């Protein structure tokens, strides 16, 4: 096998100038951060291949976090497991996060969205990111974990500060470590409160009951609860904003949705394809592996460019265009294979409820581009500010 591959700097500021899909010389490229997978089919192959492990622990070690409680949590966390152990840890969460929970959560979401949008001053442009999309996921977490709604700002802050690791900014190390310490303390206190008042039918109570029945160890319980809180808010919050930003700026599509709201789920999937919050999923080759005719040496970083795969012309016709009703629309925004996002069904419902509220109550809403700031750093689309003129209430 050959190891001659084109060069592509995946984390360079101008990386997204690439329109998507394979380069002329192939779907795999190399750069200073390792290999990059750019085409849809090869990205799918890598994400589904158990011989590629998650690189989250290596990223943590690159920050100089080589031991201690935070390193131990990451080494044991579900995203670092494969095979039987991964399945054993994932199954309780997967069962709880199934279609029934998602559907039951929709009514609660309608109430949350109505309440927090109702707090906005709709007589002038609003920062939709600060006022709406950042706040929703932490409130959903509190509902699922059986935590009081007043804990939502704390949950939001902890999710944002711990997952700041993904920005690959090593100067953030002290705050990241402090955030994990605060998260561990918060979870310990929350579980004590729940035991004192009696377990319920929420997800955290479900995990605690499994531990009480010997199906999870106390350490596994705490690690799963940590993973659940860590991933609860920040990515979903930004993804909600990215979809709203995309739809409101595409007026023809927006008017179609307003005229026929049954298009909302389809429109959300297409917006997720075009602007995935998690633009890169990083893996490590656990042994020498051939991908697309290239031998990837053991221990090598393999970065899957989700944003590029989602715009691969070999998989999506007219990939840079918003096509409402696109057929075979299965973007890799929530990954695929054994480590696909457990909360993707819930995230889609959160987005659909926000879009649906705007369609029903603010059909003339528009993005104020001059007062909005959307960026992409280290493969992640980020809402820095999303200013929306809601217009007259419909």
Q: How many residues does the chain have?
A: 394
Average pLDDT over residues 118-144: 96
Q: How confident is the model at residue 94 (pLDDT cuts 50, 70, 90)?
A: confident
Average pLDDT over residues 20-28: 95
Average pLDDT over residues 170-192: 96
Evaluate whether 292 touches 22 at the Cβ level (below 8 Å): no
Average pLDDT over residues 291-315: 96
- pLDDT value, residue 183: 98
Q: Indicate whether 131 pLDDT > 50.
A: yes
Average pLDDT over residues 197-214: 94
User: What letter does residue 278 receive in the DSSP assignment?
Assistant: B
Average pLDDT over residues 74-95: 91
Q: Which of 1-10, 78-87, 229-238, 283-292 has the lowest mean pLDDT?
A: 1-10
Q: Indicate whether 187 pLDDT > 90.
A: yes
Query: What six digits make up the tokens of 117?
Result: 């949008």
- pLDDT value, residue 105: 86
Query: What is the share, in percent, of the chain residues with pLDDT greater than 70?
Result: 99
Task: Tell me the residue ranges of DSSP E strands in 120-274.
Answer: 126-127
Q: Indicate whether 353 pLDDT > 70.
A: yes
- pLDDT value, residue 2: 47
Q: How confident is the model at residue 167 (pLDDT cuts 50, 70, 90)?
A: confident
pLDDT tens string 307-323: 999 999 999 999 999 99
Output the DSSP codes for 105-158.
HHHHHHHHHHHHHHTS-TTS-EEHIIIIITTHHHHHHHHHHT--GGGHHHHHHH
pLDDT tens string 219-233: 999 999 999 999 999
- pLDDT value, residue 3: 55
Average pLDDT over residues 362-374: 97
- pLDDT value, residue 107: 85
* Mean of the per-residue pLDDT values of the chain: 94
> What pTM, to 2 d.p., does this model score?
0.95
Find the distance separating the first CA and the last CA of the chain, reported in whole Å: 62
- pLDDT value, residue 77: 95
CA–CA gap between residue 204 and residue 191 (Å, rounded): 8
Domains contained in the chain, CATH given: 15-389 (1.10.630.10)
Q: Indicate whether 379 pLDDT > 80.
A: no
Evaluate whether 21 touches 312 at the Cβ level (below 8 Å): yes
Q: Indicate whether 304 pLDDT > 80.
A: yes
Q: Indicate whether 288 pLDDT > 80.
A: yes
- pLDDT value, residue 1: 44
pLDDT tens string 248-284: 999 999 999 999 999 999 999 999 999 999 999 999 9
Give the residue among 234, 236, 266 at the shortest CA–CA distance from 356: 266
């Amino acid at each position: 096998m050959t190891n001659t591959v084109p060069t592509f700097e995946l984390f360079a500021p101008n990386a997204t100038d690439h329109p998507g899909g394979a380069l002329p010389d192939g779907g795999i490229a190399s750069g200073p951060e390792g290999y990059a997978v750019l085409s849809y089919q090869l990205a799918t192959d890598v994400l589904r291949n158990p011989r590629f492990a998650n690189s989250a622990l290596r990223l943590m070690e690159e920050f100089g976090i080589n031991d201690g409680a935070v390193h131990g949590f990451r080494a044991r966390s579900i995203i670092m497991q494969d095979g039987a152990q991964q399945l054993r840890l994932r199954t309780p969460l997967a069962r709880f996060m199934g279609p029934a929970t998602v559907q039951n959560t929709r009514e609660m979401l309608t109430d949350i969205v109505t309440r927090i949008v109702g707090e906005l001053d709709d007589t002038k442009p609003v920062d939709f990111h600060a006022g709406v999309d950042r706040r929703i996921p932490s409130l959903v977490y509190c509902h699922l974990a059986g935590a009081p709604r007043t804990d939502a700002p704390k949950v939001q802050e902890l999710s944002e500060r711990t997952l700041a690791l993904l920005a690959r900014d090593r100067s953030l190390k002290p705050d990241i470590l402090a955030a994990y310490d605060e998260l561990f303390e918060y979870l310990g206190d929350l579980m004590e409160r729940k035991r004192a008042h009696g377990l319920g039918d929420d997800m955290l109570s479900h995990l605690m009951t499994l531990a009480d029945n010997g199906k999870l160890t106390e350490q596994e319980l705490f690690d799963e609860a940590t993973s659940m809180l860590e991933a609860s808010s920040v990515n979903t919050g930004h993804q909600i904003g990215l979809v709203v930003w995309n739809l409101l700026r595409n007026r023809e599509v927006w008017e179609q949705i307003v005229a026929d709201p049954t298009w909302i789920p389809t429109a959300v999937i297409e917006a997720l394809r075009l602007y995935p919050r998690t633009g890169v999923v990083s893996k490590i080759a656990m042994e020498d592996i051939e991908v697309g005719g290239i031998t990837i040496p053991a221990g090598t970083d393999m970065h899957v460019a989700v944003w590029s795969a989602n715009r691969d012309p070999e998989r999506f016709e007219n990939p840079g265009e918003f096509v409402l009703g696109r057929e075979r629309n299965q973007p890799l925004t929530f990954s695929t294979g054994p480590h696909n996002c457990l909360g993707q069904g819930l995230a889609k419902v959160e987005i659909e409820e926000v879009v649906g509220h705007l369609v029903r109550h603010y059909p003339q809403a528009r993005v104020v581009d001059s007062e909005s700031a959307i960026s992409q750093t280290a493969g992640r689309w980020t809402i820095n500010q999303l200013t929306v003129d809601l217009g007259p209430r419909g």
